[in-house]
Amino acid sequence: MAYSVVTAAASEPITLEEAKNFLRVDGSDDDALIGALISAAREMCEQYTRRILVTTTIDEYFDGFPNYKNAVSKDIIYLSRGPVQSITSLKYVDEIGSEATVDPSYYVSDTISEPARVASTAGWFATNGIINQVIVRYVVGTDVSSIPTPLKQGMLLIISDLYDKRDDRVRKMPTASEYLFNPFRIFTF
């Protein structure tokens, strides 16, 4: 599975002022650096938790429709990012190589579960056999004010760590950030 951003978030989850207050920085000399660190911390949080924090539209690609033999999980597509607000469209490359859009009456979506899922109501369609041939476009993330405090605190710790240690050395995410992020991780199959 791969995904690409269609419509990026309009803002970062942490403002420049919040980050500067946490870092105890008064001047504006490092504003560009701190802004870059805010983006880096958000991306680290999103990769670790498999969440998109601020409302964003993405396309997620699959190599084909699922075809499970287990009746309980039959024909279910699991989405890798959350929290999902809505499914915008479901497209695929048909047998003759044309892109087709699946009518929403042919599937149901569960945006409450994590990972969110899309299930066929009557079976999926024949595809062309190429990679990335099934595309689910969905809106994911939340309003900035709804981002859980532990995630924001973990990002502030990352910003502080990156700001204080600006040398070229391999290191892992601060352990405290991992502990703050762990309850929010989404696990996919």
* Percent of the chain with pLDDT strictly greater than 70: 94
Flag whether pLDDT at 1 surpasses 80: no
CA 88 centroid distance within chain:
15
Q: In this predicted model, what pLDDT tens digit does every residue of 85-95 receive, in sequence order?
A: 999 999 999 88
DSSP labels for the chain? -EEEEEE--SS-SS-HHHHHHHHT--SSTTHHHHHHHHHHHHHHHHHHHTB--B-EEEEEEESS----SSTTTTTEEEPSSB-EEEEEEEEEE-TTS-EEEPPGGGEEEE-SSSS-EEEESS--------TT-EEEEEEE-B-GGGS-HHHHHHHHHHHHHHHH--SS---PPPHHHHHHHGGG-----
Q: In this predicted model, what pLDDT tens digit does every residue of 65-106 receive, in sequence order?
A: 887 655 555 688 999 999 999 999 999 998 888 899 999 999
Flag whether pLDDT at 112 surpasses 90: yes
